[in-house]
């Protein structure tokens, strides 16, 4: 099946989807790592067309991301609704391990959200479950401590007081997964009749990613592994599958009683992906044994052909590790300078949007700086250790357009061409390479081309996709810069 026929419902880097429904509206949150604002919230009536309505972490005082690697930061949130309030739990990770877990609430998922409360919890991937008897339960995954653990991780459970926003009672290890020797994560609890269903993800978030399950007659267990596990995976489809790495499921019932799952997946090109992990939609039916994902098919098929998908959603511009001083006037973007560069773990003056399609053109008219110590640039940014920038740079004698690859702190000039005081710069991709160049008399002239794999997760590491954006590095006392007519178009 061609890749275009299996489309995400939220495209670009939006991993670890979690969903709940209130009335006719469904609400989705996804991981945001060190992007700021954090934890985007989307709303949909049909689970196919999603509109971003806000961010859980929109207040810089509510999250500390300073000094973190781009793929650390805010991981794997869960959103739930109970008694008029939305609850979101999430972890802040450092060095690829959970540093702290928080809960926050809001009456309106668009915000404002309450100041996060730190929970007495360890590990990653927290989740909440509100039972029909009024009790609430918290689950998460951590390094295995149990002597009889079958893998390196275990899922544990504690009771949650939704009024005081605290955990209490004993810690119970309830499951260590269905696949011996693999890390179990992303636990979510559901009740169907008198049976409690525990969904999880196993096999890592790469090619072996899968949805597994266990059941019990009480939230506290004991849990019996669902022998049908894995319930959903694409690892058996081979390297040529158009969507891979499928897993990390969360279930939601529609007002008509249908059940759907939102899962993450990637769309690789030639074995590597640059868009990050995206959100896909899967139908679910219920049988006596439990949920059946994509019944009769057993793999993703994508929305119906009339679905609008993510291409109709507004651009979601973000900074790194904190707010960016900027303003939009139409398609013109003004940025205040910052001394931190993109290769640092600081707060650079950078505003970017998620690359959400393989073929695109991202362009802006960039002015030449007034002095050599500052510059504005268009950037294809994977992480602080791997990105390509294209800047209009002023030297003592002239103005040039300089294309630079940053790799592990090393700076390699890929191209240097004569520039102008106002230069239309453009980044293009066909899914297999990125071309960096300028628009001259209406025609694109490529200055440098790099293999797309260089900016892929497979080559650069980490958990994120490419951001396309504008940076402005320079002393904080220098003037703002305005890049004009910022456009992002594609097939």
5 is catalytic: no
| pLDDT for residue 90 | 98
Residue ranges per domain, the chain? Answer: 3-312, 317-490
> Would you say residue 43 has pLDDT above 60?
yes
Residue 364 and residue 337: Cα distance in Å, rounded? 18
pLDDT at 125 over 70: yes
Rounded-to-5 percentages of helix, strand, coil across the chain: 5, 55, 40
Q: Which of 225, 196, 217, 252 is nearest to 78 (CA)?
A: 252
**Which of 3-12, 211-220, 227-236, 394-403 has the weakest average pLDDT?**
3-12
What pLDDT is recorded for position 1? 34
- What is the sign of the dihedral through the CA atoms of 154, 157, 158 and 162? positive
Q: Mean pLDDT in the chain?
A: 93
Name the band, by pLDDT with cuts 50, 70 and 90, for residue 491: low
- Per-residue pLDDT, 395: 77
Q: Using a cut of 0.85, tell me whether the model's pTM lies above it.
A: yes
pLDDT at residue 312 in the model? 39
Residue 476: per-residue pLDDT: 83
DSSP 215-277: EESSTT---EE-TT--SEESGGG-TT-SSEEEEEEEEEE-TTS-EEEEEEEE--BTTB-SS--
Name the DSSP class of 113: P
Asked if pLDDT for residue 52 goes beyond 80, the answer is yes
Which has more confidence, 478 or 464?
464
Note the pLDDT tens digit of each residue in 149-198: 888 999 999 999 999 999 999 999 999 999 888 899 999 999 999 999 99
Residues 292-308 have a mean pLDDT of 75
Catalytic residue among 69, 185, 226, 426: 185
Tens digit of pLDDT for each residue in 380-416? Answer: 999 999 999 999 988 777 889 999 999 998 999 999 9
Least confident of 350-359, 396-405, 426-435: 396-405
> What are the pLDDT digits (tens) for 75-107?
999 999 999 999 999 999 999 999 999 999 999
Task: Tell me which fold the domain 3-312 belongs to.
Answer: Tachylectin-2; Chain A (2.115.10)
Catalytic residue status for 16: yes
> Rounded to 10 degrees, what is the CA torsion of 8, 387, 447, 399?
130
Longest CA span, the chain: 78
Task: Give yes or no for a contact between 178 and 213, defined as CB atoms under 8 angstroms apart.
Answer: yes
For range 290-301, the mean pLDDT: 94
Determine the Cα–Cα distance for residues 253 and 190; give it in Å rounded to an integer: 11
Q: Looking at residue 397, what DSSP letter applies?
A: S
The pLDDT of residue 311 is: 41
Q: Which two tokens stand for residue 361?
A: 């053109």
CA distance 268 to 432: 10
Between 91 and 475, whose confidence is greater? 91
* CATH among 2.60.120.620, 2.60.120.200, 3.40.50.300, 2.40.110.10 for 317-490: 2.60.120.200
Is the pLDDT at 203 greater than 50, yes or no? yes
Listed range (32-41, 417-426, 462-471) with the worst mean pLDDT: 417-426
CA distance 64 to 57: 10
DSSP assignment of 122-170 equals: -SEEEEEEE-TTS-EEEEEEEE---TT-SSSEEEEEEEEETTTTEEEEE
Q: How far apart are CA 263 and CA 189, in angstroms?
A: 16
pLDDT attached to residue 285: 97
Lowest mean pLDDT: which of 88-97, 167-176, 355-364, 477-486?
477-486
Instruction: Take residue 201 and report the two structure tokens written for it.
Output: 């993800």
């Amino acid at each position: 099946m061609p890749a275009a026929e299996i489309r995400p419902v939220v495209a670009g880097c939006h991993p670890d989807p979690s969903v709940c429904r209130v009335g006719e509206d469904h609400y989705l949150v996804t991981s945001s790592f060190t992007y700021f604002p954090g934890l985007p919230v989307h709303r949909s009536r049909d689970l196919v067309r999603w509109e971003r309505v806000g961010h859980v972490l929109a207040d810089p005082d509510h999250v500390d991301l300073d000094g973190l690697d781009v793929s650390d930061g805010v991981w794997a949130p869960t959103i739930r609704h109970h008694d008029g309030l939305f609850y979101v739990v999430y972890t802040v990770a450092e060095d690829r391990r959970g540093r702290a877990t928080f809960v926050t609430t809001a009456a309106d998922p668009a915000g404002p959200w309450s100041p996060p409360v730190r929970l007495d919890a360890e590990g990653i991937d927290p989740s909440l479950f509100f039972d029909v008897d009024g009790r609430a339960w918290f689950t998460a995954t951590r390094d295995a401590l149990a002597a009889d653990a079958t893998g390196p991780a275990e899922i544990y459970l504690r009771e949650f007081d939704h009024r005081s926003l605290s955990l209490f009672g004993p810690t119970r290890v309830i499951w260590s997964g269905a696949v011996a020797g693999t890390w179990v994560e992303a636990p979510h609890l559901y009740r169907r009749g008198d049976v409690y269903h525990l969904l999880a993800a196993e096999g890592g978030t790469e090619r072996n990613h899968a949805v597994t399950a266990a059941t019990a007659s009480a939230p506290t267990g004991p849990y019996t592994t669902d022998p049908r596990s894995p319930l959903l995976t694409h690892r058996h489809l081979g390297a040529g599958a158009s969507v891979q790495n499928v897993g990390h499921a969360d279930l939601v019932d529609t007002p008509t009683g249908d059940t759907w799952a939102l899962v993450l997946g990637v769309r690789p090109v030639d074995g590597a992906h640059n868009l990050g992990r995206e959100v896909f939609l899967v139908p679910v039916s219920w049988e006596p044994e439990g949920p059946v994902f994509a019944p009769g098919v057993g793999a993703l098929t994508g929305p119906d052909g009339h679905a609008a998908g993510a291409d109709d959603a507004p651009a979601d511009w973000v900074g790194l590790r904190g707010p960016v001083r900027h303003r939009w006037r139409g398609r013109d973007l003004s940025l205040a300078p910052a001394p931190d560069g993109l290769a640092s773990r600081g707060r650079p003056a950078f505003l970017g949007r998620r690359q959400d399609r393989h073929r695109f053109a991202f362009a802006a008219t960039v002015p030449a700086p007034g002095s050599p110590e500052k510059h504005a640039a268009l950037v294809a940014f994977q992480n602080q250790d791997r990105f390509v920038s294209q800047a209009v740079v002023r030297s003592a004698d002239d103005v040039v357009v300089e294309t630079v690859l940053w790799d592990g702190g090393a700076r390699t000039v890929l191209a240097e061409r004569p520039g102008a005081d106002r230069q239309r710069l453009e980044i293009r991709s066909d899914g297999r390479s990125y071309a960096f160049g300028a628009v001259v008399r209406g025609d694109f002239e490529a200055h440098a081309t790099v293999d797309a794999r260089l900016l892929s997760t497979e080559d650069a590491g980490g958990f994120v996709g490419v951001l396309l954006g504008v940076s402005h590095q320079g002393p904080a006392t220098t003037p703002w810069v305005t890049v004009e007519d910022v456009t992002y178009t594609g097939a």
